[in-house]
Amino acid sequence: MPDAVAPEGRRLLRVEARNAQTPIERKPGWLRTRAVVTDTYQDVRGLVRSHGLHTVCAEANCPNVYECWNDREASFLVGGSICTRRCDFCDIATGRPTEYDPDEPARVAASIREMRLRYATVTGVSRDDLPDGGAWLYAETARQVHEQVPGCGIELLVPDFRGHPESLQEVFSSRPEVFAHNLETVPRIFKQIRPAFSYAGSLDVLARASQAGLLTKSNLILGMGEIREEIEQAIADLVSVGVNILTLTQYLRPSKLHHPVDRWVKPQEFLELAALAEDRGIDAVMSGPMVRSSYRSGMLWARAMRATGREIPANMRDLAEPSTARQEAAALLAAGTAAGSAADRATPSPVGRAAS
């Protein structure tokens, strides 16, 4: 039997005890990244350190920080560090939040200004303890960024706010460049992975944002027990509610207490799914094992802007130039780092077992 107590001293949840019975999976050799340090990266890092600024990129040790900071993109977390919900893939602590700082939006905007960013993503924990679910924090952050850093794009990656219309309208009214809400997985295993969320509810949030005239974005994590046909249906569902931007990524297990990895999805399948999503109507797709939902967000936004015929500000037009990000499956396959050999890459990836 696994230990009955988590590292921080609390008793294990039943799902955590069950997860802990499966040892941490060994990553395949082709699932790796490398650091490319540029002058721009060094400049952003220096600003972060000298001003004591806080980003998800640095504090979560994201392996893609070099590439994003090189394009002056970064991600920020608002609303504290404790979430009122528990998702079986997520490493954020769950409990009763105590932090709520109404000055946080102004500080985040000031950090973005100090870092001289041109595109920023703001995400946060679920705050079901607050009447508005934390909607004002997101909206006010977008408003502060637009005021303090003219020309900087802002993407809000938000929870579902329990579907409350007033909370959603508060966020819509701030007019972020992108409204993002992550679907994450397929209906059959959704409640197992995200018990406090609803598949239909998440789709409804995205539909309402699309109806409000915002560019919308979502994410699907692969390797948690879904099968190929279910992924394709989830993509179709996202298309049906007007989602413009999609990221597809490999699940990486944060600890033994989290959901076990069902399979390692090869870059060739990520490439196929990206093509399928674009064929079905998604305007901009980024797909690969090490892609994350906020990875190269500015580049994805620019692709979607170009695809939808919207005007891109002059200082961002280079992001819309045709290019491939380092972690996209196409780049991995072209570099020959994908699955070891040409023969292996030519073999379709296993569909994976269906979770019970």
- 353 or 17, which is more confident: 17
pTM above threshold 0.85? yes
CA–CA separation, 265 vs 284, rounded Å?
Answer: 21
SS3 13: coil
> What pLDDT was estimated at residue 60?
58
- 67 or 18, which is more confident: 18
At 73-131, the pLDDT tens digits run 888 889 988 889 999 888 888 888 877 889 999 989 998 998 888 999 999 889 999 99
> What pLDDT was estimated at residue 13?
86
For residue 68, what pLDDT band results from cuts at 50, 70 and 90?
confident
User: Is there a contact between 81 and 92 (Cβ–Cβ < 8 Å)?
Assistant: yes
**Rg of the chain (C-alpha set):** 20
